[in-house]
Amino acid sequence: MSLRARVEAAVRRAARSRTSADLVAISVPLTFDAASTAAREDAAFVWDARRAEALSADVCVAFGEAAAVEGIGDGRIAQARAAATQLWEHVELTAGADPRMFGAISFDTSLGPFEQFAQARFALPRVTLRGGSRSEIGLVLSREELAHPAAIAEEVEALSQAPARGVHRPRGRVLRDGRTMFERAVERALLSIEAGELSKVVLARAVSIDSDATSSGVLAELEEAAGAVRYCIRRGSAAFLGATPELLIKVQDGEVRTEAVAGTEPRRGQELAEAARLLSRPKDLEEHRWVVEAITAGLERAGVTAAHEAARVRTLPFVHHLVTPIVARRPEGAHVLDLVSALHPTPALGGSPRDQALAFIRDAEPVPRGLYAGPVGWVDARGNGEMVVALRGALMEPSGALAYAGAGIVRGSVVELEAQETDAKLLSMFRALGVTAASKVERPHLREAGA
- Beta-carbon contacts of residue 405 (< 8 Å; ≥ 6 apart): 204, 205, 207, 392, 421, 422, 425, 426
Q: Residue 141 burial (CB < 10 Å; 0-12/13-18/19+)?
A: buried
**Cβ neighbour number for residue 178 with a 10 Å cutoff:** 22
Whether 408 maps to a domain, the answer reads yes
User: What band does 167 get if pLDDT is binned at 50, 70 and 90?
Assistant: low
Between 442 and 269, the higher pLDDT residue: 269
Q: Is the pLDDT of residue 271 over 60?
A: yes
pLDDT at position 438 over 80: no
Kindly report the CATH number assigned to the domain that includes residue 354. 3.60.120.10
Tell me, yes or no, whether 166 lies in a domain: no
Dist. CA 105–CA 121, nearest whole Å = 7
| Confidence (pLDDT) at 419 | 97
Residue 71 in this model has a pLDDT that exceeds 60: yes
Average pLDDT, the chain: 91
Residue 5: is its pLDDT beyond 60?
Answer: yes
Tell me: do 180 and 142 sit in the same domain.
no
| Claim to verify: residue 253 and residue 129 sit in the same structural domain | no
How far, in Å, CA of 36 to CA of 421, rounded?
32
Average pLDDT on 275-297 reads 91
Residue 200: active-site member? yes
Spot the catalytic one: 8, 53, 155, 200.
200
Which one is predicted more confidently, 64 or 58?
64
Residues 143 and 267 in one domain: no
Task: Kindly state whether residue 30 falls inside one of the protein's structural domains.
Answer: yes
pLDDT of residue 256: 96
pLDDT score for 205 = 98
Please state, in angstroms and rounded to a whole number, the distance separating the CA atoms of residues 345 and 14. Answer: 42
Which one of 53, 136, 221, 246 is the catalytic residue?
A: 246
More confident residue, 168 or 192: 192
Packing angle, helices 282-301 and 336-343, rounded to 10: 130
Say how far apart CA 287 and CA 284 lie, in whole Å: 5
> What pLDDT band is residue 168 in, cutting at 50, 70 and 90?
confident
pLDDT tens digits, residue range 327-371?
A: 999 998 899 999 999 999 998 899 999 999 999 999 999 999 999
- Considering the domain architecture, whether residues 153 and 192 belong to the same structural domain is answered as no
For 8, 15, 107, 281, 321, the CA distances from 263, given in Å and listed in that order, are: 52, 54, 20, 9, 6
In a domain, 245, yes or no: yes
Same domain, 63 and 183: no
Structural domain span for residue 98: 3-159
pLDDT tens digits, one per residue of 172-222? 999 999 999 999 999 999 999 999 999 999 999 999 999 999 999 999 999
Summarize pLDDT for 109-141 with one digit per residue, the tens. 999 999 999 999 999 999 999 988 788 999 999
Q: Has 255 been annotated as catalytic?
A: no
Between CA 378 and CA 336 the distance in angstroms is: 9
Instruction: Say yes or no to pLDDT of 34 above 80.
Output: no
Q: Tell me the per-residue pLDDT of 410-433, one tens digit each, with 9 for 90 and over.
A: 999 999 999 999 999 999 999 999
Within this chain, do residues 153 and 204 fall inside the same structural domain, yes or no? no
| Same domain as 49, residue 24 | yes
pTM recorded for the entire structure: 0.92
Q: Is residue 164 part of a domain?
A: no
> Residue 223 has what pLDDT?
83
List, in sequence order, every residue forming a beta bridge with 250; answer none if it has no partner. 257, 386
Query: Are 20 and 148 in the same domain?
Result: yes
Residues 154 and 201 in one domain: no
Residues 319, 183 share a domain: yes
Give the per-residue SS3 of the chain. CCHHHHHHHHHHHHHCCCCCCCEEEEEEECCCCHHHHHHCCCCCEEEECCCCCCCCCCEEEEECCCEEEEECCCCHHHHHHHHHHHHHCCEEECCCCCCEEEEEECCCCCCCCCCCCCCEEEEECCEEEEECCCCEEEEEEECCHHHCHHHHHHHHHHHCCCCCCCCCCCCEEEEEECHHHHHHHHHHHHHHHHCCCCCEEEEEEEEEEEECCCHHHHHHHCCCCCCCEEEEEEECCEEEEEEECCEEEEEECCEEEEEEEEEEEECCCCHHHHHHHHHHCHHHHHHHHHHHHHHHHHHHHCCCCEEECCCEEEECCCEEEEEEEEEEECCCCCCHHHHHHHHCCCCCCCEECHHHHHHHHHHHCCCCCCCCCCEEEEEECCCCEEEEECCCEEEEECCEEEEEEEEEEECCCCHHHHHHHHHHHHHHHHHHHCECCCCCCCCHHHCCCCC
Question: Do 419 and 314 share a structural domain?
Answer: yes
Convert the pLDDT of each residue in 373-385 to its tens digit: 999 999 999 999 9
